[in-house]
Amino acid sequence: MTPAQPLGLPAPLDGSIPQESTIGAEHRAFSLYVHVPFCSIRCGYCDFNTYAVDDFGNGVGLDSYAQDAIAELDFSARVLRDNGAPARKLHTVFFGGGTPTKLPARDLVRILQHAIDLFGLEDNAEVTTEANPDSVTAEDLQVLADGGFTRVSFGMQSAVPEVLEVLDRTHTPANVPKVVQWAKDAGLQVSVDLIYGTPGETLEQWVQSIKSAISYRPDHISAYSLIVEDGTKLAVQIKRGQYELPDDDLMADMYTEAEKLLSSAGYRWYEVSNFSTSPQTQSTHNYAYWKNQDWWGIGPGAHSHINGTRWWNVKHPVAYSGRIRNNQSPAAAREILEPSTRDFENIMLMLRTVEGVSTSYLQEIHGEALEPKLQWLVLQELIDSTELANGRVVLTFKGRLLGDAVTRELLPETE
Ligand SMILES: C[S@@+](CC[C@H](N)C(=O)[O-])C[C@H]1O[C@@H](n2cnc3c(N)ncnc32)[C@H](O)[C@@H]1O
Ligand code: SF4
């Protein structure tokens, strides 16, 4: 089961994008996302576009994936050139999933090298792949590092077997320190993802997971609250009463413990759910999304965004291959974002970051109504008064816990 896609406008089969979208492109970063829709099993909480199938028949599957991804890369370069986009080197590259490391490491490198041949790569660009702790060997990680990858992000989720079981995770916690060390030995930067708020998880278990993650000394740790997506196995289990979700107080306590432990171990927040050892180890690719830069998404169900034109590919690997092998755009539909929608998204995403949002930008949107809003937020200790004096709205720790209230206050009015 994968989530429904948004409705949108028809997307042209030749992939063309409005010429306006390429205006000023030289001033925007251009990133690449490659979606790899294969997993060994489907975790009960996950609604990403991924399949526990290696071979769909019709010559579509793991074995053919790299060739199709390369064909879409060629397609993307042609569309951008024919629609007036200037040549831009890739700012960041991110392979996500699914489980990209279900593909042989040499296939991941082949796709990456083809992208670099087509577009070039900025100096010191971040090139990441996601990985499951049980889907890589030390040799794979060395092949990735030698082939141009700079960073790997492991889905650890928890260090506690009972919690991993509720999440349907297949890996054993002991695998995580092993793969983190292999990745470091290969010269890769390392991130680990944790999830808190799994049904039945206690505060003590969560603390154990954070402490374990810290003890492996990755460069970056993400701590996501579990989102129960409609249509997932977990959502059904909760509806049936098999599991109960934690209450808001426990969730707040879990985030508070994460902040306490991570900051005292040298990990500083730079986005509500993301912590790094230094500005150099923040995820540049994430920032490209949060700042609404341009990116092309390769693969089934991948989303792309070029200056206000957003489109998403057909989700099923067979439908995707059919399009790409017929030299047609794999886009299912697209939307052209209104300026007000872009403001809405900019504020929502950037408010979650340590950079925050500039008061001059907010002033253009709210006019005279801004000042009383800001005063109220400072009084409630939801935004930082020192940052405000420097012209930026940045969440305090309390603001991070109550981020939705701050966002509601600062979003543009909608009719
Ligand atoms: C799409 S997964 C890909 C990485 C890899 N397949 C894995 O799971 O280890 C990326 C991350 O998204 C997070 N994630 C996925 N579904 C989530 C959910 N429903 N709630 C919170 N985080 C989720 C997990 O932390 C996961 O590591
Ligand atoms: S391994 Fe990752 S992408 Fe695959 S189903 Fe589990 S959470 Fe989703």
| Residue from 45, 46, 153, 176 whose mutation best tests the ligand 2 pocket (most atoms within 8 A of CB) | 46
**Separation in Å, CA 2 to CA 9, 63, 165, 257:** 21, 22, 21, 33
Alpha carbons within 13 angstroms on the beta-carbon side of residue 98 total 30
Do 209 and 160 meet the contact criterion of CB atoms below 8 Å apart?
Answer: yes
CA of 200 to the centre of ligand 2 (A): 20
Q: Please choose, from the candidates 128, 98, 12, 84, the residue with its C-alpha nearest in 3D space to the C-alpha of residue 301.
A: 98
Write the pLDDT tens digit of every residue in 271-313: 999 999 999 999 999 999 999 999 999 999 999 999 999 999 9
Distance of CA 228 to the CA centre of its chain: 17
pLDDT at 1 over 90: no
Q: What is the mean pLDDT of residues 28-38?
A: 97
> Which residues line ligand 1 at a C-beta cut-off of 6 Å?
45-46, 48, 97, 99, 130, 132, 155, 157, 193, 195, 224, 226-227, 229
**99 in ligand 2 pocket by Cβ < 6 Å?**
yes
Residue 150 pLDDT grade (very low, low, confident, very high; cuts 50, 70, 90): very high
CA of 414 to the centre of ligand 1 (A): 32
* Residue with CA nearest ligand 2 atom 2: 98
**Separation in Å, CA 46 to CA 210, 230, 344, 389:** 21, 10, 27, 42
Residue 268, token pair as written in the block:
């500083």
Tell me the residue type at 326: N
The domains located in the chain, with CATH, are 19-290 (3.20.20.70), 339-410 (no CATH)
Distance CA 148, CA 145 (A): 5
CA of 162 to the centre of ligand 2 (A): 18
Distance CA 246, CA 322 (A): 44
Do 206 and 257 meet the contact criterion of CB atoms below 8 Å apart?
Answer: yes
Do 128 and 150 meet the contact criterion of CB atoms below 8 Å apart?
Answer: yes
**Separation in Å, CA 50 to CA 109, 187, 325, 409:** 21, 29, 20, 36
**What was the pLDDT predicted at 5?**
66
Beta pairing class for 55-57 and 60-61: antiparallel
Do 95 and 131 meet the contact criterion of CB atoms below 8 Å apart?
Answer: no
| CA angle, residues 333, 66, 303, in degrees to nearest 5 | 25
Do 108 and 144 meet the contact criterion of CB atoms below 8 Å apart?
Answer: yes
CA of 80 to the centre of ligand 2 (A): 32
* Residue with CA nearest ligand 2 atom 7: 46
Chain mean pLDDT for the chain: 95
Distance CA 370, CA 300 (A): 42
Write the pLDDT tens digit of every residue in 223-253: 999 999 999 999 999 999 999 999 999 999 9
Residue 201, token pair as written in the block:
């998880």
pLDDT at 208 over 90: yes
Q: Please choose, from the candidates 80, 7, 26, 113, the residue with its C-alpha nearest in 3D space to the C-alpha of residue 293.
A: 26
Q: What is the mean pLDDT of residues 174-181?
A: 96
CA of 14 to the centre of ligand 1 (A): 33
CA of 182 to the centre of ligand 1 (A): 21
Write the pLDDT tens digit of every residue in 339-349: 889 999 999 99
Residue 413 pLDDT grade (very low, low, confident, very high; cuts 50, 70, 90): confident
